[in-house]
Structure 1
């Protein structure tokens, strides 16, 4: 397993800057999730790490060895990297075993070196070794692709949105198998994804790439609970953004005076509340706010409820409630916020009709 270090990485295509001085460090044995929307530069960064492209500036070090930057450029085949593409890209003319040993020296390919061990590692039976890739499900093909990447014992594994083509149930099952295999081998891995749930559930460390810049690099909980920007708050899960005033360690908004998880300069702010922090109750209690249910989006084990506050009729919020306690449209309920919230300074008040551009709720 290797440590990955990226310093000041820059890349431009046709005079269009794609990466702007990216810095990151991935410790040995860590599953690192790189999250970002389409067009943020994730694929470009991955291609630079693989050696498919050369950086215009900065440096990439793998286990202390500079592979791109000042000094000689190290080609892909000499970087000790394993690569798992989006859809496995298995060779249809080779068996599963043939695919797994494809990147090994000829002698090890002949004896199908480590095939049984690697199939067991990714949770597949040994008799799958003789099958053709076309006889496997999408999730099974991705597991074989991981086994192929692990076969040469690389120091670093790069996974390029490997679960994006799978259906929901298969995606969860395959994620668990891949994460388990990586943990068992202790391999350092970089997972590139635009799926927030995937990044937060798999990543021991999560970084968010936004318009070619790394805007936050922290634990999954920190990224979700204390996102660095209001745009990131709305990208990583549902967010209720309400206009308010920050005073000391609190912010006052339509849902009351709420404690802040991070101090901010006093003044006009956008208060960020996660929908699961908003509790619903039929009887009123101290500190609760009356609201009318406008819409319910039932998801099975939970539901998103859209509500209008009675004291501010133009103020809409959303709350996440358990699936067994879903109110009906038109019900009158009472709301209270649990836990600490985030606040973001408002330096310039936009026109009223533009204030909900990045929000799932408004006030």
Structure 2
């Protein structure tokens, strides 16, 4: 285990800045997820940490040793970093065991050093050792790639969107297996991904990278419930944003008077609700409501996913559209009149107009 510390990291490609004065700490033994859209600089960050690219400024320290900085660029093979790329990138002409020990010294390769232990850590049976990669599923190949990355006992493991090529069900299963394996190995790990659910479910901390800058670093629940900007709220999950007036720990908006989280802006604000906070019930008789009564709405359309559904609703108060998320077994019918209530506290953002 080792701490990764990045300070003031900068990287340009030509005149285009890719990373700008980036600071990040990954504590020893922690799993940090970097979440960002395509083109935000995620893969460039991993390549700089690995040593595949040279930084234009700033420092990278691994276990208090400077591996990149002014006048310093430690080669990749001396950084003790394990790397898990997209789609595993296993050697097709080598068996599972040969892939796992590929980067080890010759005597350890011959002795199949830690192969059985590593297969157990990543949740694969020892009988898979002599199989070819082509005989494994995509999820199993990713686990072998992780075992290969863990074999040299690296100080840090980097994962570059390793689940993007897997189908939805296999992705969830493989995420869990990889997270469990990294925890069992006591590894310090850094994952980059554009998938919000992946970052929130795997990271002890989640850092949002946007146009080369880190916008927020927080625990998954804090990032989801208290994002620092409205734009970030839209990126990290689905967001319902409504104009409102906040005062005295409450905010008034088209859905009534709602309780606010602590330390939120007052006055003219944008109110953040997550769609799962909006509860549907029988249609009320009146068109107005407070925190204790429901607001009348009509179901406009439905996206049904089985376990849950996203329901778009026309509000009777002003005709605006908003989205609620409900359990699949409680999905209303299109055109149905319903009543809305809001569950839990809401966040707010200052609004200029």
> What is the TM-score normalised by the length of structure 1?
0.93
Determine if the alignment matches structure 1 residue 306 to structure 2 residue 286.
no
Cα separation, 2, equivalents of 1:266 and 1:27: 35
- Structure 1: where are the runs of 5+ without partners? 350-363
Cα separation, 1, equivalents of 2:217 and 2:276: 24
With 117-126 and 215-224 compared, the bigger mean Cα shift is at: 117-126
Partner SS for 2:221: helix
Is the 2:312–2:324 contact (alpha carbons within 8 Å) kept by the matching residues of 1? yes
Partner SS for 1:166: coil
1:283 offset after TM fit, Å?
A: 5.1
Determine if the alignment matches structure 1 residue 333 to structure 2 residue 341.
no
Is the 2:85–2:159 contact (alpha carbons within 8 Å) kept by the matching residues of 1? yes
Partner SS for 1:113: coil
What does the per-residue CA deviation read over 1:277-319, in whole Å, with 9 as the maximum and x for residues that have no partner?
0111115384211101101111111111110110111x11111
Cα separation, 2, equivalents of 1:98 and 1:215: 42
Partner SS for 2:215: strand
Cα separation, 1, equivalents of 2:215 and 2:302: 33
1:169 offset after TM fit, Å?
A: 1.0
Q: 1:272-291 alignment to 2 at 5 Å?
A: 272-282=272-282, 284=284, 286-291=292-297
Cα separation, 1, equivalents of 2:329 and 2:226: 29
Is the 2:265–2:349 contact (alpha carbons within 8 Å) kept by the matching residues of 1? no
- Structure 2: where are the runs of 5+ without partners? none
Partner SS for 1:120: helix
Determine if the alignment matches structure 1 residue 295 to structure 2 residue 301.
yes
1:247 offset after TM fit, Å?
A: 2.3
Matching residue of 1:346: 351
Determine if the alignment matches structure 1 residue 101 to structure 2 residue 106.
no
Q: 1:192-203 alignment to 2 at 5 Å?
A: 192-203=192-203
Tell me the number of residue pairs that the alignment of Structure 1 and Structure 2 aligns: 347
Q: 1:1-363 alignment to 2 at 5 Å?
A: 1-282=1-282, 284=284, 286-313=292-319, 315-347=320-352, 349=353
1:346 offset after TM fit, Å?
A: 2.2
What is the root-mean-square deviation of aligned Cα atoms in Å?
Answer: 1.2
Partner SS for 1:172: helix
1:55 offset after TM fit, Å?
A: 1.0
1:339 offset after TM fit, Å?
A: 0.9
Is the 2:283–2:296 contact (alpha carbons within 8 Å) kept by the matching residues of 1? no
Cα separation, 2, equivalents of 1:139 and 1:60: 32
Is the 1:248–1:263 contact (alpha carbons within 8 Å) kept by the matching residues of 2? no
Cα separation, 2, equivalents of 1:258 and 1:51: 50
Partner SS for 1:87: coil
> What is the TM-score normalised by the length of structure 2?
0.96
Partner SS for 1:89: coil
